Amino acid sequence: MPAGPRSLPSVSVLAVALAAWSLAGALALAQPVPAVSSGAPARLDPSRDAGGNGGQSEAIGPFVGVAERVLPAVVSVDVRRLFVHPRVAPDSTGNQEFPFGPNGGMEVPSSGSGFIFDRGGYVLTNSHVVEDAVEILIHLPDGRQFPATLVGADAATDIAVLRVETEGGLPVVPLGDSDALRIGEWVAAVGNALGVLEGSLTVGVVSGKARTEISIGGDTPAYQDFIQTDAAINFGNSGGPLVNARGEAVGVNTAFGGPGRGLGFAVSINLAREVAESLLRDGRVPRSFLGVILQRVDPVLAEALGLPDAHAVLVREVEDGTPAARAGIQAGDALVRFDGERVGDLAGFRLAVAKTPSDRPVTVRVVRMGKPLDLEVVLADRPEPETTETDEAAPAGATPEIGLELADVTDEERSVNPVLPRGALVVEVRPGSLASLAGFLADDIVLEVRGGEVNGLDECRRLLRLAESAGQPALVQVLRDGGRWFLALPFGKSSRP
């Protein structure tokens, strides 16, 4: 994939820990933190701890009371999953080899975390914890063990709901409001660390909210609303709660950036709650879609589009017969507001569209050729599989001078591929040129320059000269691997040598 703008660091998914983890090395002592009042959720009161023991703040931390309330409802999720190895090709004698026996599979044990959020026996965890499970067992801290059934899982947010049936009472972790969290607020990550350290609790603060550009090794969730924290999250913590100082779940522990990096991520509880409610009600998560292929907007592209900043997403293509097509949205439109809210980034926009009810008119503000335009769109239920609103990053490059070697698209090439447009074919991109900086690649076909249609080599050169003389970033549409891309030649951003 072509290189894109700077993204947040890749993080490791909390691949659920194997039950055979062994522990080695020394353990460092945790530093004490100030005691918290049992009244106001985020105010620190040195005279009391969370459990109400006044005058003992030096000996008892603020999360002692939280641990006493929360830990009984945090469970270990033990899973047996079936691993199927591809069949090995027959040898020269025609014998077929099966790496794991004639059935071609073996059962692999693994362990994650979860927490009971409803006294009816419902457990919240990550989808990746129970993926491909053939058996799920829930272990409570009081020693009880129950088989669990999968109510539903949503890989697009990495949330799953399980259920255990028991006649005895069950403790619960109450759900909080993740939107009310503040940066710097105390939180604790609770779970089954390393698959064997049940009831582990680590403390930190909220480092960030509404993180949506997180690349997770393995399988990145399509829809993201992560809370970032420096509370230590480890293998096996997947599915456990991130709790506030009141003992309310504000997130579902999901991923971390590596041991000792102070970089952990939890799905916000408000998103997890919405997903869980849909799974309990419908067994699936209905989502709306617009029907466009999008790309991110960087500052140079924003200037070329006539935007004041890069808070927008750019429409690369509009799919026929979709809500976007019916509303009149066009390729090259910059979407800047959706349903009255300002567009932030591409991932956040996709989540906003997905969560909006279908069959309800929504106003979308676009900027087309530098002019704002309000369009009314009626979203539709997303078809399966999810293939629209593609998250693609515009490619990037290096430094000054146009540096494009162009040619006509020949009749011979068109006879081989009749769908090829006329345009102008990019034969070579000179390293260190403006074209390289904009992200042009050999074999791109230039279709438009600043809205002017390119019908051949001569027309492309003329339009590029006009664009350069204007001294402003120029929007160029190219065809690449069957898809349309928008690039911005950064004229006026640096002097030619």
Q: List residues with catalytic annotation.
A: 128, 158, 238
Q: How many helices (H) and strands (E) does the chain have?
A: 8, 30
Q: Are 116 and 73 in contact (CB under 8 A)?
A: yes
Rounding to the nearest 10 degrees, give the CA dihedral for residues 153, 176, 340, 281. 40
Q: Which of 233, 296, 199 is nearest to 1 (CA)?
A: 296
Give the separation between CA 367 and CA 489, rounded to whole angstroms.
19
Say how far apart CA 36 and CA 87 lie, in whole Å: 58
Question: Residue 428's closest CA among 404, 410, 447?
Answer: 404
**Separation of alpha carbons 53 and 378, rounded Å:** 56
CB atoms within 10 A of CB 216: 20
DSSP code for 15: P
Residue type, 471: G
Asked if 253 and 233 touch (Cβ cutoff 8 Å), the reply is: yes
Burial label for 331, CB within 10 Å (0-12, 13-18, 19+), is middle
Structure tokens of 317?
A: 């293509």
Look at the block and give the residue holding tokens 């933190």: 33
Q: Which residue in the block uniquely carries the two structure tokens 């204007």?
A: 470
Structure tokens at 212: 């949506």
Taking the CA atoms of 96, 97, 100 and 102 in sequence, report the sign of the dihedral they define: positive
Q: Is the peptide bond before 385 cis (omega within 30 degrees of 0)?
A: yes
Give the C-alpha separation, 402 to 428, whole Å. 11
